[in-house]
Amino acid sequence: MSWLHLLNLKKLIADRSVWLGADYQSTADRLLLQHNCCSLDARTTLKVIEFARLGLIPYNEAVQCGRSALDSDLPERKRVAVSRAFMNYLWERVGPNDETMMLAKFLARSDKSSSHDKLRAAALLNAGGKIDEATKLLYVISKMQPRLLTQIGYLELGVLASGLGLVDKGHAMSLLKVRNRLNEARGTFQTLVHASGESFVAIANGPSVGASSGNFPEKKRLVIRFNNFPDPQTVAMNIGQRTDIWIRSHDTAYVPLRKIENLKHVVVSGCDCHHRFSNGFQHLSNLFALGVSVEVVPTLLYHTLFQELNASPSVGLIGISWLQKLVSRKLHNDEVSGFDLDLNNSNKTVYVNGVSKGRRPSRHNWQAEHCLYKQLVEADPGKS
């Protein structure tokens, strides 16, 4: 590699303004080019994986970068850092397959990985059905840092650790209760959709949400809303009053809890809430405080959409994709509202009550989501 390539590479990685411009794709292309010139550089690999999760670098390219870096003679600490990032990316993208579990096993045995790394590796091994290996790793962690287990947040791993006597008794009972309530609620979304006689509407939070005339949501048997939907009293447009199903992030800090009159059901988005989130138990427990059934999005649906979009799917797209699969047809125009995906870009999201701009690119590929939306919903004769 020439000294000029090295200079450009160091400048690209160190420059904080990499997130401030609007042309993120150009930056991603440059980053990938630099990586191809210097596949041994761990910091570049970490950035490639980060951009790949945002849909700015193709999956196959990111995987090749991760593999080539790990095939090189990296120092152990850097190998741990790359393995951690690569494992997290693959877990969200494709699930606990042979490659992700191989990365988990490396983190489990490395002297340079932290207790938190080993705990996450145990969670992935548990998700992949490697119960014996996850169990052995839990015992290792219990000797390294027992406090990590006494109030563990990984739901299914916590249940496993509870059975081994590694979790405080009260917390163990709470973990089991949340897991059982989630299992009991499985299939509720499908049941409610079918019971509505396909009389439903999914209302997103874009500016066109109130474009339809009349109090159209109240005419439907089932009204579905998403994340931080606006209070009907705070917007000028008529978006209806009812909310029967709330599809939302698991994170109660990002989407705060709120009292919703006559709410029937909550659907939690995200990839594999049972296994993958280190704070999953805490957030799910908070959601049960709403007093309704709580169900998680099928992991297979999430992975399928991630593969199609090459980025994390938004809550809204997850919702209408699930609806479309349940009714086995394209959704009608009067069954959706407020999906203005074409107005969003990599650092701007447009809502009915304002515009959100970030200093980093969005984790959603809005252009790809808009294309998929047009495949799921009938063409609107009122739009070109």
Rounded CA separation 122/137 (Å): 6
Integer CA distances (angstroms), 220 to 223, 244, 325, 378, in order: 7, 10, 19, 18
pLDDT for 346 equals: 72
pLDDT for 16 equals: 40
Count the residues in the chain. 384
Of 337, 191, 327, residue with least CA distance to 264: 191
- Each domain of the chain, given as residue ranges in start order, spans 196-376
Q: Which residue has the higher pLDDT, 47 or 381?
A: 47
pLDDT for 246 equals: 98
Q: Quick one: average pLDDT of 342-355?
A: 81
End-to-end CA distance of the chain: 50
Backbone dihedral angles phi then psi of residue 289, each to the nearest 5 degrees: -65, -15
Q: Other CB atoms closer than 10 Å to residue 88's CB: what's the count?
A: 17
Quickly tell me which residue has 């399928």 as its tokens: 304
Rounded CA separation 13/101 (Å): 29
pLDDT for 360 equals: 73
3-class secondary-structure state, position 96: coil
Helix intervals (H) in 186-332: 188-195, 280-288, 299-309, 315-327
pLDDT for 212 equals: 52
| pLDDT tier for residue 263 given thresholds of 50, 70 and 90 | very high
pLDDT for 38 equals: 62
| pLDDT tier for residue 362 given thresholds of 50, 70 and 90 | confident
| Dihedral (CA of 99, 88, 267, 202) sign | negative
> Structure pTM?
0.89
Rounded CA separation 245/263 (Å): 6
pLDDT tens per residue across span 56-87: 889 999 999 999 999 999 999 999 999 999 99
pLDDT tens per residue across span 230-243: 887 666 566 788 89
DSSP track, 145-167: -THHHHT---HHHHHHHHHTT-S
pLDDT tens per residue across span 265-289: 999 999 999 999 999 999 999 999 8
**Residues paired with residue 354 on neighbouring β-strands, in sequence order:** 351
3-class secondary-structure state, position 242: coil
How much is the mean pLDDT over the chain?
A: 88
Q: Quick one: average pLDDT of 305-317?
A: 94
Burial class (CB in 10 A: 0-12, 13-18, 19+), 323: buried
pLDDT tens per residue across span 162-209: 999 999 999 999 999 999 999 999 999 999 999 999 999 999 998 887
Question: For 88-92, 238-242, 290-294, 364-368, which range has the lowest pLDDT when averaged over its residues?
Answer: 238-242
pLDDT for 211 equals: 63
Q: To the nearest whole percent, how much of the chain has pLDDT over 90?
A: 65
Which long-range CB contacts under 8 A does 196-200 form with residues at least 24 apart?
196/220, 196/221, 196/222, 197/221, 198/327, 200/224, 200/323, 200/335
Q: Quick one: average pLDDT of 223-231?
A: 92
Q: Quick one: average pLDDT of 323-339?
A: 94
pLDDT tens per residue across span 2-57: 434 444 444 444 444 444 445 677 778 877 777 677 655 788 899 899 989 888 88
